[in-house]
A and B are shown apart, each in its own frame.
Chain A
Amino acid sequence: MSENILRVENITIQFGGLKAVEDVSFEVKKGEIYGIIGPNGAGKTTILNAISGIYTPVTGKIYFKDKDITGVEPHILVEWGIARTFQNSRLFWDLSVLDNVLLGMHTRKKMGLFRAIFNRDYVNQEFRDSIKEAEELMTFFNPELVERKFHDAKSLPHADKRRLEICRALASNPDLILLDEPSAGMDPAETRVLMEELKKIQELRENITMIIIEHDMRLIGGVTDRVLVLDHGKKISEGTFAQVSSDPRVISAYLGGSLDA
């Protein structure tokens, strides 16, 4: 039993003739917060999509808890313990805040047709339990979410939308959570709060592993244990944030731009 929860081995992902990700390998340790950075178009989101099963790499393998998960469908991966958020929040906009979180619990609570029609006691009890759990989870992030639980998800303020998406992902009790630019569109104050919340997630869920894609270097520097740097679909560096930010290849990839921005 290795201490790695995720092992990505030489994956290449191709769209038509275009190689979005080429021969990338890395390992993520259990309980780690792992960052993926790189300029636009570096292939960060593509890797996340491959881990969560939306894309299948043309070559290479992905192992999760030592099980080969290459090409496994997304909904099965959620059941196995991988949850995610999306770069441009993909909430269920016309459903209520509460329903969004309830849907996050789908893999643990799903029911068959027979039960839904003939065993209402079960259904009602299940909903009571789920709603209680959802409210606890929302309270942990922002009590306001509970107050607005019967509002459309689209009516939430921006930062709360992103929070709700993290809530929804956590609701499946994942072992690995993939966050695609959680701070996108947030102002510096909101980003600071988010950083605290990300750290708090590990108190709430022991041993949870996080992979975070970010542009905000303060966030990456502040919360991650290790960082992977991609450029043009290739891995150019890996290590602690301090290590990679002094790596000349990384600096030149960012065209001399400062990583402390």
Chain B
Amino acid sequence: MLSTVSQQLLNVIMLGSLYSLVAIGFTLFFGVLDLINFAHGDVFMLGSFVALFLFMTVAFFSGVNFFTVLLLFLITGFIVVIAGLLIYKLTIKPLATSPPLMMLLVTVGVSIFIREGVMLFFPDGASPHPFPKIFPETTYTFLGMNIPAGYIFIIVISIFLVVAMSIFVNKTKLGMSIRATAQDREAALMMGVDIDKTIAVTFIIGSLLAGIGGILNGAYYSTIKYDMGFIAGIKGFSCSVVGGLGNVYGAIVGSFVIAFLETIGAAFLPFGAEYKDVFTFIIVIIFLVIRPSGLMGEKKFEKV
């Protein structure tokens, strides 16, 4: 029994870490731009496919070692950052003065565009692809849990990214400008913050976290598919809503809450495994109804 419980706990931690990496992007975009980027989940998916592609080409010649894996992460990160910037410059920026409805629709369009693009242009893109084993395959036993080494890597990398992001946002000038813009865009503008640059930076951070999240997700489930960004995006958005949109730490808390409820639901509810996703959606809808500002969000008063 203990081992089942602790094994479930491990699942919660893994899922929570992966969800966080997507949820943080949602919350950042919402903060600086009042935007929900429906294409964000597909950037996550793109990350895993870019990594797979690199692996198929580069690692084929050099074999899997520490440096190739590191290189894999760096190049993938670079490419998803470019993708994120392109999304911003080409589709979102031109709509800066349009009604919010238009921005919502454009990100839905971009989301399908990326998804279908991968399906059509990646070799055999419509089928699920096995993801390469980029982490050592040793398994440790601890408190009755079987912990594969890959899990430890995933957790450590996630923590590293979140801490790095947190330091960047809190300690650097650019990070401060993100926070200032999120708090009061007009005041930030008057204080000389370059809003355009700030938004671009949030797209860099958000896309980077999601893209790397995509690789880790591939390593965790060891299989990837072109349409996985859809569910990932909805989960990420849900986590940031539950935590309180606009609050970075809220997004992390929300991710673990959702991961926890989902794991519990799948394990203990009848038909829980089949209806896992339905269960999550019901939780989110309940949250949206009773506490739309989320766990850590502040209640906002609409100015009249």
Contacts and interface: CB of A to CB of B under 8 A. Distances in A.
B304 interface: yes
A54 B301 contact: no
B132 to A, nearest CB: 51
A248 to B, nearest CB: 33
A70 interface: no
A209 to B, nearest CB: 21
A152 B25 CA distance: 39
Contacts of A92: none
A15 B301 contact: yes
Interface in A118-164: none
Contacts of B298: 16
A80 interface: no
Interface residues of A, number: 6
A54 B298 CA distance: 20
Interface residues of B, number: 4
Contacts of A45: 304
A63 interface: no
Interface in B248-304: 298-299, 301, 304
A49 interface: yes
A204 B253 CA distance: 60
A49 B304 contact: yes
A86 B304 contact: yes
Interface in B95-122: none
A54 B302 CA distance: 10
A15 B298 CA distance: 11
Contacts of A54: 304
A92 B298 CA distance: 30
A15 to B, nearest CB: 5
Interface in A41-56: 45, 49, 54
B276 to A, nearest CB: 37
Interface string A25-61: 0000000000000000000010001000010000000
Interface string B16-55: 0000000000000000000000000000000000000000
B55 to A, nearest CB: 51
A153 to B, nearest CB: 16
Choose among B298, B299, B301, B304 the residue with the greatest number of A CB atoms under 10 Å from its CB: B304
A233 to B, nearest CB: 15
A87 to B, nearest CB: 8
Contacts of B299: 16
A49 B303 CA distance: 10
B301 to A, nearest CB: 5
A16 B298 CA distance: 9
A45 B302 CA distance: 13
A43 to B, nearest CB: 13
A260 B299 CA distance: 40
Contacts of B301: 15
A45 B298 CA distance: 23
Contacts of A49: 304
A223 to B, nearest CB: 24
Contacts of A15: 301
A160 B298 CA distance: 39
7 contacts: A15-B301, A16-B298, A16-B299, A45-B304, A49-B304, A54-B304, A86-B304
Interface of A: 15-16, 45, 49, 54, 86
| List of 7 A-B pairs having minimum Cβ-Cβ separation, nearest first | A15-B301, A49-B304, A54-B304, A86-B304, A45-B304, A16-B298, A16-B299
